[in-house]
């Protein structure tokens, strides 16, 4: 996810790559790879110039969050913005671990950030000023669309958008399979299917009609679309999609509870 964000920000050309500093715990070879690939600054943790950084983006594994925050605390100031990509780590946990009045924003992008097409959620802590909020949103817009939500809605957003690309890739796997069985090449089937998804997405974004109306508009009685929709319904396709979103959201919430219990037990 961290690399996807770097890719999207660099490709947008709205922030010079030279102003992006990346560090990690021990994998210095990985830092060199990112530096060569994107032109960013890969630096060892002990060489990071904390005082001249406006915004810190936390993208380590959630289990490493507490240690990372404690190591940062002596070096950062209360005015510096913290943006967290950490699944399951609450804004209040970060605020309580760092300084009083520390501005914290929690986000949930998806892997489409790598091509500037992410759907990214953004929830603000109580110490985030209007200027910092604007700055964060401008940065996140380098990766795609940004949606301001309450932190309590982060789990369902994860189920829809964070995990969502995988649902569509799963759908395309089966479209490609059906195309192959009918004699189409995988490449051609993928292009046709992807263009169809793209067109449907644009219709959803640009049309004032309800989703059900858009569906009905292309469904003639006893026609091909009706036959396809009937097969989906009989196979439990609609229920499967709903369950995918709900189960992903449920797992997101469970991860949050597990991490809270782990921290409390220390």
Q: DSSP state, 218?
A: T
To the question of whether residue 2 is assigned a binding role by annotation, the answer is no
Q: How far apart are the first and last CA of the chain?
A: 28
223 CB-contact burial (10 Å; exposed 0-12 / middle 13-18 / buried 19+):
exposed
Place of tokens 């946990």: 93
203 is in an annotated binding site: no
Contacts of residues 201-205 at CB distance under 8 Å and 24 or more positions apart, as own/partner, are none
Dist CA 264 CA 266 (whole Å) = 6
Residue 62 annotated in ligand binding: yes
| Beta strands 104-108; 118-124: pairing state | antiparallel
Residue 148 φ then ψ, to 5°? -80, 125
Contact 110, 140 (CB under 8 A): no
- The answer on whether 60 is annotated among ligand-binding residues is yes
Cα pseudo-dihedral 7, 13, 19, 25, rounded to 10: 0
**Residues making up the binding site for NADP(+):** 59-62
**Residues making up the binding site:** 59-62
């Amino acid at each position: 996810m961290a690399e996807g964000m770097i890719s999207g920000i660099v490709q947008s050309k709205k922030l010079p790559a030279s102003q992006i500093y990346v560090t990690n715990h021990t994998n210095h070879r990985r830092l060199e790879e990112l530096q060569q690939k994107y032109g960013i600054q890969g630096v060892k943790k002990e060489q990071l110039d904390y005082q001249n950084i406006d915004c810190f983006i936390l993208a380590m594994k959630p289990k490493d969050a507490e240690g990372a925050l404690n190591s940062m605390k002596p070096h950062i100031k209360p005015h510096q913005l913290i943006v967290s990509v950490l699944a399951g780590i609450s804004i209040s946990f970060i605020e309580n671990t760092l300084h009083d009045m520390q501005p914290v924003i929690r986000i949930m992008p998806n892997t489409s950030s790598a091509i500037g097409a992410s759907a990214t959620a953004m929830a603000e802590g109580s110490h985030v000023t209007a200027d910092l909020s604007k700055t964060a949103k401008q940065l996140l817009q380098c990766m795609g669309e940004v949606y301001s939500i309450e932190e309590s809605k982060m789990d369902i957003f994860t189920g829809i958008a964070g995990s969502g690309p995988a649902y569509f890739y799963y759908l395309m796997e089966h479209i490609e399979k059906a195309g192959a069985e009918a004699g189409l090449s995988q490449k051609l089937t993928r292009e046709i299917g992807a263009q169809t998804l793209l067109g449907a997405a644009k219709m959803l974004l640009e049309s004032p009609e309800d989703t059900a109306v858009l569906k009905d508009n292309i469904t003639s009685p006893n026609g091909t679309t009706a036959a396809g929709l009937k097969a989906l319904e009989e196979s439990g396709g609609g229920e499967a999609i709903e369950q995918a979103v709900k189960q992903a959201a449920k797992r997101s919430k469970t991860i949050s509870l597990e991490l809270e219990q782990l921290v409390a037990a220390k």
